[in-house]
Structure 1
């Protein structure tokens, strides 16, 4: 009986934590990190403010957990899109297109994940997030070289250049689809995808 009570308690705790993280993801999409205050998070999740600290020791730890939760969701969506494609060209296309369209559909979230000034604890999570994309691009490029689809090149450098180009083109101050820029998303994503494919030496379709 005691074991069942403990299991129920743990299940409830995990459910509350998940609800807090989902609420934080919504707030992040609406207003970035300033919107994800402890009080706002508690209100959105329907819990007492003090109970937030039953799950997170500090606001910094909360924001790091929020980043990790949102970033893992986004990265997994891109990985899944890559997994269902065949060949380096189509896999790299999937990476760029899916990342781009997801970022453009929720620009506030993309800004929070990639560029918004953050606490050092969150910045550490951000580095891990960027490394995840770098590793995914590197795997695609390395496999393409091994299979004869792509020319020999510095895999680490090419992967970093592709990920950097996508982030800058979508979120940088000179982005044609940035705030107030007014460009249509689809032609920009098509051009960006073509640029990345040419950069790694993918053959024309």
Structure 2
């Protein structure tokens, strides 16, 4: 094999290494957390990651492809965090309150990124990734509701529909608090998050609302 060809293939392999992709994804996530999906451009991601633009495109052929992976990575992290509490100790109501509250509090801590994941207008591919995120999160709540029905903490209901409503309430209810404005304080946002979680618990028929 000619030396020039070996060099090209070696460079391509390095560009598409797991470490390189990880660095690019981290840079893209950090950029989205500051400016959102719309304003996060490939040139900015390349600068943030410290790679050439050509290297970025060898790893991710388009901005949409990159942002789909950003959504998937961030979503899995949030789902895992909620699932950790959902599978812990306590009554179904306590675990549902804890996992929903954790989701809300983490969203408020990273408001710009959470707003991008919840409400920012995006391309169809990214929206499809966000829908997968919602379904995964709903499945966490659905499992708790099913357990609550079996233990007779919650009345008999369609657990899948109830879980979808909880996710919808969290996403839509947090749009205002997540917005980048100066019209509300951190305390106001936390109070609204607690009110949303209380609403969700009442929605599944919890007798003791824990928020």
Of 16, 30, 33, the residue aligned with 1:29 is 33
User: Contact 2:16/2:59 (CA < 8 Å) preserved in 1?
Assistant: no
SS of the aligned residue for 1:150 comes to coil
Of 102, 110, 117, the residue aligned with 1:106 is 110
User: Contact 1:177/1:188 (CA < 8 Å) preserved in 2?
Assistant: no
User: Contact 2:35/2:112 (CA < 8 Å) preserved in 1?
Assistant: yes
Residues 1:11 and 1:73: Cα distance change in structure 2 (over 3 Å): farther
Name 1:71's counterpart in structure 2.
75
Residue 98 of structure 2 corresponds to residue 94 of structure 1: yes
Name 2:184's counterpart in structure 1.
182
Of 44, 66, 69, the residue aligned with 1:40 is 44
Residues 1:202 and 1:108: Cα distance change in structure 2 (over 3 Å): same
Q: CA RMSD in A?
A: 2.1
Deviation at 1:189, TM superposition (A): 2.4
Instruction: Structure 1: state its 5+ residue gaps.
Output: 1-5
Once residues 177 and 66 of structure 2 are traced to their aligned partners in structure 1, the CA distance between those partners, rounded to angstroms, is 33
Q: TM-score, normalised by structure 1?
A: 0.86
Once residues 57 and 177 of structure 2 are traced to their aligned partners in structure 1, the CA distance between those partners, rounded to angstroms, is 41
Give a deviation string over 1:56-75, Cα, whole Å, max 9, x none.
12222112112212222222
Deviation at 1:12, TM superposition (A): 7.4
Name 2:3's counterpart in structure 1.
none
Deviation at 1:105, TM superposition (A): 1.1
Name 1:3's counterpart in structure 2.
none
Give a deviation string over 1:35-75, Cα, whole Å, max 9, x none.
32111111111111110122112222112112212222222
Instruction: Structure 2: state its 5+ residue gaps.
Output: 1-9
1:43-58 alignment runs, 5 A limit = 43-58=47-62
Name 2:143's counterpart in structure 1.
139
